[in-house]
Amino acid sequence: MKKEKLFANSSYKKLFISSTAASFGDLFDMFAVMTLFTYVWHANSLWVTLIPVAYALPSILLSQAAGNLADRYDKVQLMFLSELVRLLFTCLLFFTNEPLLALGVLTLRSMSSVMKVPAQLAYVREVVKEDQLLQASTLQNIMFQIAKVVGPFLGAAALTFTTPKACILVNAAACMISIGVLFSLKKAGENIQGQAARSSHQAKEAYSNGWKLVFQHPILLRVVVLFHVSYFVVMLVDAQISIFLRDVLPHNPEMLGWLLSGIGIGALATGVYLNRKNTFIIHLGFYHLDCFYLEGLYFSLAALTQPLCHAILF
Q: Report which of residues 121 and 292 the model is more confident about.
A: 121
pLDDT tens-digit profile of 228-244?
677 666 666 666 777 77
Residue 287's alpha-carbon distances to 44, 273, 277, 280, in angstroms, are 36, 12, 11, 8
- pTM of the predicted structure, to 2 decimals: 0.74
Rg (CA), the chain: 21
Share of the chain above pLDDT 70, in %: 71
For 259-281, b where at least 16 C-beta lie within 10 A, e where not — what string?
bbbeebeeebeeeeeeeeeeeee
pLDDT tens-digit profile of 270-302?
666 655 655 444 455 555 555 655 666 665 665
Q: Report which of residues 228 and 18 the model is more confident about.
A: 18
* pLDDT classification of 3: cutoffs 50, 70, 90: low
**pLDDT value of position 80:** 92
Q: Report which of residues 69 and 189 the model is more confident about.
A: 69
Count the neighbouring beta carbons within 10 Å of the beta carbon of residue 179.
21
